[in-house]
Amino acid sequence: MTVRPIAVIIGMMGAGKTRVGKEVAQLMRAPFIDADVEIEREVGMRIPEYFDRYGEPAFRDVECDLITRRLRDFNGIFALGGGAPMTAGVQDALADYIADGGKVVYLMADPREAMERAHRGGGRPMLNGGDANARWKSLYTVRDPVYRQVANVHVPTRGQTPLAAARRMMDMINERTVHVNVTNGEDYDVRIGEGSMTHLAEVLGSKPAKIALIHTQPVQRHSDHARAILRQAGYQVSDIVIPDAESGKTIDVANGIWQRLGDEGFTRSDAVVGVGGGAATDLAGFVAATWMRGVRYVNCPTSLLAMVDASTGGKTGINTPQGKNLVGSFYTPAGVLADMKTLASLPNDIFIEGLGEVAKSGFLMDRQILTILEEHAAQLRAFDGASFLGSGLEDVVAELIERTVRVKAYHVSADLKEAGLREFLNYGHTLAHAIEKLEHFRWRHGNAVAVGMVYAAELASLLGYIDRDLVDYHRSLLSSLGLPISWNGGSFDEVLALMHRDKKARGNKLRFVVIDGEPGHMTHLEDPPADAVREAFDRIRS
């Protein structure tokens, strides 16, 4: 079993690494060690004395050796001295630790607060000689860029008590991160956890001056939080409210936003932030992709469906009278911040529909998702936002989100523009999009996908790709989660006409994604027999 620290804390002298680190360790019921204390115990003297007797290079060698060992044999919170990350050997060891899933936390204290604490603490050989404040500032100028590069978690602590800073750090340590590699595009991270939205300024960077904050009215409390974060970071924020759900994904809504961006002088260096469900993040991405041929954007999904589907992958678009997402662009975000706190405001039915896309990823690639859904079906179906945060269910949902995002990341990394592998993500979507259109988008996407998967399973069974047991498993699992498995809306002819407009269709031939044999093995079903297409449709009528 791999032993490694829960987190490694770096930062300037006086940043509070030891005090905050001890608070975090107590909150997480984990041990804490300070590298400087460990070094003094090993060498048998205080660090200032060691500096005077042997010099800084010798001290750095001892420090690097101890840190490298502790990164392999300690399982708590580990605070490093201010100069440790400046050593090449420590940088290499921390990079290996991060590659193994570790969290290196840069505790970003306010310089004035940190300098005051550094003077109070004493015993700082690096501040000896001349004006201590000037020396601290000189070291900060050199070290800050290195800290930012070495760390994979950045925690600003200005004006916070040690306990408040510790709680913030704990949230960020517990965060799950999925890195999305994009062939012929820019990579980005999907961050999943309580408080993930606090990364907004970090992801947007210093280049934008103006931010278009696009959101719907129902998520006002979350957009207020995003706005506060953005303004505190110094951005000029334009608040843009759009209609909720699919009614917000129209050319008229997009045109209104373009006009406003023009009137307010948005340039190519400015940015867009989308806060809300899948429709809001789709539209925000489309606006970002088309304004001045592309500006930076960040998605902050607030629903389970958006977190596992729409916010990741770079598919942006709007609906037309002829169908869903027929006009759009492939354009990747700078980052996706899936803040688990936003799920606490979800009604039960909105949460449940997101499980349709989660289950799809289980059938598509990760069978452990199906196992988790089976084991926790009753809890998931009884989701209550008021008691969600801090419950055992929160960890279950976080793992489901991470696993589902990893499935999507695998498929989009090598196929951004849906030329092959990525099409498998459309399992269940051929019928689902037809249902949504015929229901005038009153049916939610995840519910339609659930019915669409049952249809695809029935079709695959009729044509010998899977056995009847797997069809029944689709039905039993999805219904146990509270998802629909049948539909009595439009006629077969209406559905057939819409399926022919599906993006996977080729010419006048229908094309479906189906399971071949067992979950995890997908194939394209080209131009299936008309009688099978109709028979499968009849079987999903209740």
Confidence of residue 264 (pLDDT cuts 50, 70, 90): very high
Q: Is 309 annotated as a binding residue?
A: no
Q: Is 15 annotated as a binding residue?
A: yes
3-state secondary structure of 203: helix
Name the amino acid, one letter, at 542: S
Other CB atoms closer than 10 Å to residue 201's CB: what's the count? 19
Q: Is 379 annotated as a binding residue?
A: no
Name the amino acid, one letter, at 288: A
Q: Is 278 annotated as a binding residue?
A: yes
- Among candidate residues 489, 312, 335, the one with its CA nearest the CA of residue 404: 312
Q: Residue by residue, what is the 3-state secondary structure of 240-260?
A: EEECCHHHHCCHHHHHHHHHH
Specify whether the CB–CB gap between 494 and 429 falls below 8 A: no
> 438 or 278: which carries more pLDDT confidence?
438
Residues 463 and 513 in one domain: yes
> 409 or 77: which carries more pLDDT confidence?
77
- Among candidate residues 34, 20, 114, 22, the one with its CA nearest the CA of residue 74: 34
Q: Is 143 annotated as a binding residue?
A: yes
pLDDT of residue 63: 94
Q: Is 382 annotated as a binding residue?
A: no
> 14 or 530: which carries more pLDDT confidence?
530
Tokens 């590659």, residue located: 99
Confidence of residue 3 (pLDDT cuts 50, 70, 90): confident
CA distances from 263 to 234, 384, 474, 506 (A): 21, 43, 51, 42
Name the amino acid, one letter, at 246: E
Q: Which domain holds residue 259?
A: 176-409
Q: Is 302 annotated as a binding residue?
A: yes
The H-or-E segment that residue 275 falls in is strand 271-276
In a domain, 31, yes or no: yes
Residues 332 and 461 in one domain: no
Q: Is 60 annotated as a binding residue?
A: yes
What is the total count of domains within the chain?
3
Other CB atoms closer than 10 Å to residue 231's CB: what's the count? 12
DSSP 341-389: GGGGG--HHHHHHHHHHHHHHHHHT-HHHHHHHHHTHHHHHT--GGGTT
In a domain, 232, yes or no: yes
Q: Is 249 annotated as a binding residue?
A: yes
Angle at 449 between CA 444 and CA 455, to 5 degrees: 135
3-state secondary structure of 206: coil
Specify whether the CB–CB gap between 404 and 369 falls below 8 A: yes
Q: Is 245 annotated as a binding residue?
A: yes
User: Among the three residues 132, 155, 174, which one is the final residue of a domain in this structure?
Assistant: 174
Specify whether the CB–CB gap between 461 and 471 falls below 8 A: yes
Mean pLDDT highest for which of 277-281, 442-446, 480-484? Answer: 480-484
Residues 487 and 433 in one domain: yes
Residues 36 and 160 in one domain: yes
Residues 58 and 201 in one domain: no
Pinpoint the alpha helices (H) of 44-131: 47-54, 56-73, 88-99, 111-121
> How confident is the model over 107-150, as pLDDT tens digits?
987 777 777 765 555 445 555 555 667 777 888 888 999 999 99
3-state secondary structure of 279: helix
In a domain, 530, yes or no: yes
Q: Is 160 annotated as a binding residue?
A: yes
Q: Is 122 annotated as a binding residue?
A: no
**Region 264-288 average pLDDT:** 91
**What values do phi and psi take at 156, rounded to 5?**
-70, 140
Q: Is 376 annotated as a binding residue?
A: no
Specify whether the CB–CB gap between 120 and 16 falls below 8 A: no
Cα(322)–Cα(199) distance, integer angstroms: 38
Q: Is 281 annotated as a binding residue?
A: yes
In a domain, 165, yes or no: yes
> How confident is the model over 516-537, as pLDDT tens digits?
999 999 999 988 999 999 999 9
In a domain, 263, yes or no: yes
Cα(412)–Cα(396) distance, integer angstroms: 24
CA distances from 209 to 153, 233, 260, 299 (A): 24, 10, 16, 18
In a domain, 227, yes or no: yes
| Residue 419 CB burial class (10 angstroms; 0-12, 13-18, ≥19) | exposed
Residues 354 and 208 in one domain: yes
pLDDT of residue 504: 59
Residues 162 and 189 in one domain: no
Gyration radius (Cα) of the chain, Å: 26
Residues 192 and 290 in one domain: yes
**What values do phi and psi take at 278, rounded to 5?**
-60, -35
Domain harbouring 534, CATH code: 1.20.1090.10
In a domain, 414, yes or no: no
Confidence of residue 414 (pLDDT cuts 50, 70, 90): low
Quick one: how far is CA 231 from the chain centroid? Answer: 22
pLDDT of residue 484: 97
